[in-house]
Structure 1
């Protein structure tokens, strides 16, 4: 179906709190002949439908609303006609000041026409969501004005939707080494060394002082200019202003060699720090090199190379050996091996054949594939993953928020202390020399910049999130990465999480009728259900069911199904359904999911369906316990016998069975009782069915499977391979990242405090102060990069 022949509509279902009802609505709407496709996002309560062009749009919407009202009455239904907010990205080339990035993001976020903003310092990218009906040009001019006002001289590029790929590639390809700065540093260093040589050989004179001044202007001229400009704008506590005051003060008291040396080593430190951050940017970018550059669009008998954004749903694309798959789709021709490692972290190649789904981000290895596109680029798996990882910095951890607040107070406090140290002692202490105390105050100014913390902490978290994504673990924010390190209880769903969710009929026990007749009744009852158990019965029956003979159909959540078929009344469900309908039955002794069948109020037997435990579930539980997880719990709607059998095989601590969806939330609340803030709970489920529990847990982890939209929407963490063992890997990455974060905090603050104390006591010199500033920042950045390994 060509994208241009579809009308897309979005409907908000206010008050929708039943995940099962959401599935029923989506299924019924999807069956309307005028609807090409439908998707109900339970988390956002949004139903998106694609109406086939030529259909009566008003009539179709009326049918959809009738389905919603009949399935779940009383919802607040709104058909969206509003224009979406405009999204824009601004690349800030040359942005190397983490503190300035914080200031820009804060100021831009306060503009009333901005819905949301996020400045990713690592990618130098400012993402904006602009409110509808706003003069976009005027607003972007304001944003650019804020950027230039805060950090002048940046290379600002505004990305419009079609230019996104090109500009990001351009930015990434730029060198992080500024040759002009390097030449300036080399010349300044040579002049400085010549001045030192002059004084060392006894030629200290006005000439040598002039040499030092020339070296100072070469090395620090740009810092002085920035400091003056920023001072006029009211930015009194940025690093340029502080460094300018400190070194000019040193010049004023005759410490010329030291002033020039401090400025030189400050600039060298900033240069090396910029290189280190640039290297980390490239490393993180390399981890996420899954964005496709182009797509081979088939137009008639020709192949046209286009941007992935220009490809529509229903278009046919060709993927050659060695190329990335640019969009999600279905393979209609060809058999090939694909590399899924960019999405899943798995190195084993996977075979794809005609009729199978294929995801953007896979790499085609050895044969030509012809693919029919099923999702636009913006909705594709690769686009969602990139968006999640790139914008993970918008959900900040408590540590990051603390550091941001701390830096606002820390710098002014140290500057005030510097002023007091320089002024008060000469007044109150007898024979105190003003120049000595001024020197001590200047040391405080050099140490006062919080860059080591402001830069390295977000970089550590971003590196950890990037590394996790490379291992097939999508973490939606540093707040969740931080929470993972404090987990002491892991709660699992059963079906599709610890087990494969692939059911097989293992036993048929009929009473008063043949096994074939019992199976037929079961197949009739389950014919309209999408449940995995229903599918397993229909697969085992392997015959067609005459749906026209079904006179009535009612699905009772957590009980089973009632069907009127060819004059007979069929019940198919669990023991609760039999008791509810007052059917006398014989409980099954076999372990498995049991479907009891009654016809015209007479019990006719049961069918046993068994699920298999996933290969790595046992190892996953062992790893979690070896890491110090206190309790591993399972919540399931399955019967007690099946649940206990699975629990004993896996070595679980607790198991709760026969639970309705709302009862799972109640059990999770029980688990929370008596817990402290530091005792976090993870819930691991398989997507939309577990949405309420995923939302309640400290960290909700979805066994997303490749390309599961529902899981990506619902959870805080998504495991792209459905492997429970990835949970321990996620906790390992989180633990390592948080260790690095606290190493940087303790190291940076520790060194700064020591130098401040020594400086106040007259022991430390400006050399120690410059190490406490740029030296510590450089070491912290290099340490932060370890989170990527």
Structure 2
């Protein structure tokens, strides 16, 4: 029998903020008999597993068992399975033209996500797009056929377009939707004219069979598709569907002789649905117009010729040409040309930026005034524009607590109202003296019309999606509605100092030698720092200005949070802070100068110090002020810098609390201390550069990476990504979050309030089907229009 090795798997648990839940997950998973080793790192939200080596163990089934266990303990997490090797899973997109029922969309999404061969899926109702991934060894066409069957069973009659690659179908879908809308409009106009004619006949006393025939013709013209869907759904046991409920209510009204009212309800239901569809369409266009950064083509240079190709066809190392007025299609480095570029699509900033030879040019920038020749450094799928579009389009997969609540509420609301309708229709005539069956039956029918929760299921996700779209317009990328919702409760904002509140551009401001010349002190310091990438080290090397011969450095050691040891020309040089001097038993003279102080010792003798200062960003003070005006109770700064420098910056900016002299791992410890002082509802946001601060970003309730333009590490590490270096945008993100959540709760209170009132009135025999139709499609339309205000 051949050797067998254990399989190692890693699972990312996005959104895991409960330390106790993490412990429970780790404990339960470790007890599975297939698991040899298990460790859940709460800081980076990563669960590492080693699956036992056994030919009878199906790894995929084990992973599914683990994921089910995680969902049972802490539902709503964003779970991603990382494989041992990079597996190119097959991604499929299905455009669902004509999908107007939010409740049906959610049902389709739930059913698809439970399929065995689907690794992950997301149905974005706003863009009417279902995306899913299957493993590379699975036939994606067979899975797609199975999913299309689910779609047709759940919501028949949709215009389904399948894309097995990144081919663009947006234009085709848009045209087809518009044609569909025109067809619906024609039916509604014809139906309305005939309905008015029927009402006129009735009003003038011309009560005849002909009037009823007109009404029934209107009913069939306008509502035949509703009746058809209702029959198909009923045959599959789906009696909680909006079409079935509307059909039962109106057919019941016809049977008891309320023909004009039944037809009017169906007509105005369809008109409301049509207007609602237009409103959602406009909202969708408003959101997508903010993200019109996807390039249509690239000018590929092949020899002396220019070939226009799709961006997906361009490879790393290829040369592309970008003409004035064109979008830069892929990330790269400028090899020829100098131009001004508009970065507003990525950063939200209208000020043009200069780029020239040797500088990075990111996809999504618009070239303004001169020809640029660019060498491509990333494939289109890995480019900045692709990552941003993916973040915004898939943000709806990370649902907020409010969305999850509405989803659960919708599952119980409709059955409850349906059962109540049956009770109202049939019980009172049996137990209440002199109760008329037709009267109570009518009241039950009114209940049915109000039973659909679409106003909430549609408007709540739309509000959050609009909030995410509005944020992207300002250069703020929010990775999910859960983070957008969490921002509203942020009452403590913790900042890293260097590169966040300060520019991170260090300059030598003072040189103080002891027993040697200033030139010698700078020379020793420059050679000590020559192999370091730290900004302070670079500032000293730049100040030296002489060329450095690295071969003269025969020993180099960088000690974290202390400094550097080198051997240069047989001299043992120490360059670092007071901790380094103390640990090496160097007799030195501490200085009171404000700034980052680098002490220098040569062959065990103290030779002086150099002061390096960092500049505060122009809008840092305004950022702190705006955060406090927005209701943030406490602003904290964490830094590895010395206490004097930290306190000076904190006093200048108005920061409430400072932790200085911190090692990288101590920042997480300080954040844990801050958490202990907070109530469960209060949220802590950490703002850092997204690269060095990844553990702290992961631990915070909301991790915010700033200055992340073009930084893959920043985009991966944080929950919120600011595409510029401006801390003032944090207050803007909180403002958008609070506005979004305010509108969300306006819709919840309004929709539930109106429905509750109409249900009570209908039970009392006061409300008619006209009030019920307002409580259904009228409320949904108003809620959608209210959700669109998030964009403003």
Instruction: Tell me what 2:136 maps to.
Output: 132
Is 1:148 matched with 2:152? yes
The residue that corresponds to 1:691 in the other structure is 694
Work out which of the residue numbers 763, 766, 771 in structure 2 matches 1:760: 763
Counterpart residue number, 2:636: 633
Q: CA 1:111 to 1:14, structure 2 compared with 1: closer, same or farther past 3 Å?
A: closer
Q: Secondary structure at the match of 2:546?
A: coil
Query: Within the alignment, does 1:260 sit opposite 2:249 as a pair?
Result: no
What's the CA shift for 1:15? 13
Any idea what SS the aligned residue of 1:91 has? strand
Per-residue displacement from partner, 1:56-98 (whole Å, max 9, x unpaired)? xxxxxxxxxxxxxxxxxxxxxx995453221121111111111
1:438-470 deviation per Cα after TM superposition (whole angstroms, max 9, x unaligned): 110011100010000000000000001001001
1:451 pairs with one of 447, 451, 454: 454
User: Which residue in 1 is equivalent to 2:789?
Assistant: 786
- Tell whether 2:89 aligns with 1:85: yes
Relative to structure 1, the CA distance from residue 487 to residue 525 in structure 2 (aligned partners, 3 Å threshold; closer, same or farther) is same
What CA deviation, in whole Å up to 9, does each residue of 1:323-378 have, x standing for no partner? 10101111111111111111111111111222211111011111111111111111
Q: Relative to structure 2, which stretch is displaced further, 533-542 or 260-269?
A: 533-542
Give me the whole-angstrom Cα distance separating, in 2, the residues matched to 1:680 and 1:79.
33
Kept in 1: contact 2:9–2:84 (CA 8 A): no
SS in 2 for 1:603: strand
1:323 has 2:326 as partner: yes
- Number of residue pairs aligned between Structure 1 and Structure 2: 721
| Structure 1 residue aligned with 2:670 | 667
Give per-residue Cα distances to partners, 1:602-624, cap 9 Å, x unaligned.
11111110000000001111111
Is 2:730 aligned against 1:727?
Answer: yes
Distance 2:740 2:719 in 1: 17
Match of 1:776 in 2: 779
Measure the CA separation in 1 of the matches of 2:648 and 2:176.
59
Instruction: Say whether the 8 Å CA contact 1:172–1:282 is kept in structure 2.
Output: no
- Greater Cα shift, 454-463 or 554-563: 554-563
Conservation of the 8 A alpha-carbon contact between 2:337 and 2:371:
yes
Alignment match, 1:171: 173
Q: CA deviation at 1:168?
A: 2.7
> What secondary structure sits across from 1:501 in the alignment?
strand
SS at match of 1:361: coil
Q: CA shift at 1:221, angstroms?
A: 1.1
Tell me how far apart the structure 2 counterparts of residues 256 and 295 of structure 1 sit (CA, whole Å).
61
Instruction: Give the alignment partner of residue 715 of structure 1, picking from 695, 714, 718.
Output: 718
CA contact (8 A) 1:337 1:352 kept: yes
Partners of 2:246 and 2:216 lie apart in 1 by 16
Q: Is the 8 A contact 1:504 1:611 kept in 2?
A: yes
Show the counterpart of 2:98. Answer: 94
Residues in 1 aligned to 2:130 and 2:90: alpha-carbon distance in whole angstroms: 14
Is contact 1:637–1:659 with CA below 8 Å preserved after alignment? yes
In the alignment, is the contact (CA less than 8 A) between 2:98 and 2:177 conserved in 1?
no
CA shift for structure 1 position 564: 2.1
Aligned counterpart in structure 1 of residue 235 of structure 2, from 215, 232, 241: 232
Structure 2 partner of 1:463: 466
Contact 2:707 2:726 (C-alpha < 8 Å) held by counterparts: no
**Alignment correspondent of 2:278:** 275
What does the per-residue CA deviation read over 1:632-675, in whole Å, with 9 as the maximum and x for residues that have no partner?
11010000000000001001111110011111111111111142
Contact 1:415–1:445, Cα closer than 8 Å, also in 2: yes
In structure 2, the CA distance between the partners of 1:175 and 1:114, relative to structure 1 (3 Å rule), is closer
Aligned to 1:67: none
Summarize the alignment of residues 378-417 of structure 1 with structure 2, pairs less than 5 Å apart.
378-417=381-420
2:690–2:708 Cα contact (<8 Å) kept: no
Unaligned runs of 5+ in 1: 1-11, 17-41, 46-77
2:166 corresponds to 1:191: no
CA distance in 2, matches of 1:464, 1:387: 16
Inter-partner Cα distance in structure 1 for 2:778 and 2:477: 33
Aligned counterparts of 1:229 and 1:15: Cα–Cα separation in 2: 41
**TM-score normalised per structure 1:** 0.89
Matched, 1:442 2:445: yes
Aligned to 2:369: 366
- Between stretches 542-551 and 444-453, larger displacement belongs to 542-551
Distance in 2 (CA, whole Å) between partners of 1:595 and 1:693 is 27
CA deviations on 1:700-740 (whole Å, 9 max, x unpaired) are 10113321111111100011111010001001110111111
Residue 180 of structure 1 and its aligned partner are, at CA, apart by: 1.5
**Structure 2 CA distance, aligned partners of 1:80 and 1:546?**
43
State how far apart, in whole Å, the 2-side matches of 1:778 and 1:520 are: 72
In structure 2, relative to structure 1, the CA distance for the partners of 1:241 and 1:308 (3 Å cut) is same
Q: Is contact 1:43-1:714 (8 Å) kept? A: no
- Corresponding residue number in structure 2 for 1:285: 288
2:349 and 2:171 mapped to 1: Cα distance? Answer: 26
Alpha-carbon separation, structure 2, partners of 1:720 and 1:674: 31
Pick the aligned partner of 1:538 from 527, 533, 541.
541
The yes-or-no answer on 1:109 pairing with 2:113 is yes
Q: Who is 2:165 aligned against?
A: 161
Q: Given the alignment, which residue of 538, 551, 576 partners 1:548? A: 551
Instruction: Report the Cα offset of residue 182 of structure 1.
Output: 1.1
CA distance in 2, matches of 1:695, 1:213: 61
Deviates more, 1:517-526 or 1:750-759: 517-526
2:680 match: 677
1:648 aligns with 2:648: no
Q: How far apart are 1:566 and its partner, in Å?
A: 2.6
User: Structure 2 length as normaliser, TM-score?
Assistant: 0.89
The offset of 1:135, in angstroms, is 2.0
Q: Which moved more, 1:665-674 or 1:458-467?
A: 665-674
CA contact (8 A) 1:460 1:785 kept: yes
Select 2:496's aligned residue among 489, 493, 504.
493
What is the match of residue 603 of structure 2?
A: 600
SS at match of 1:637: coil
Partners of 1:298 and 1:555 lie apart in 2 by: 45
Please name the residue that 2:123 is paired with. Answer: 119
Aligned to 2:709: 706
Is the Cα contact below 8 Å between 1:522 and 1:597 reproduced in 2? yes
Q: Does 1:510 align with 2:508?
A: no
- Look up the match of 2:661: 658
For residue 348 of structure 1, give the secondary structure of its aligned residue in structure 2: coil
SS in 1 for 2:171: helix
Asked whether the 8 Å contact 1:43–1:713 carries over to 2, the reply is no
Pick closer, same or farther for the CA change 1:750–1:79 going to 2, 3 Å.
closer
CA shift for structure 1 position 305 = 0.3
SS of aligned partner of 1:596: strand
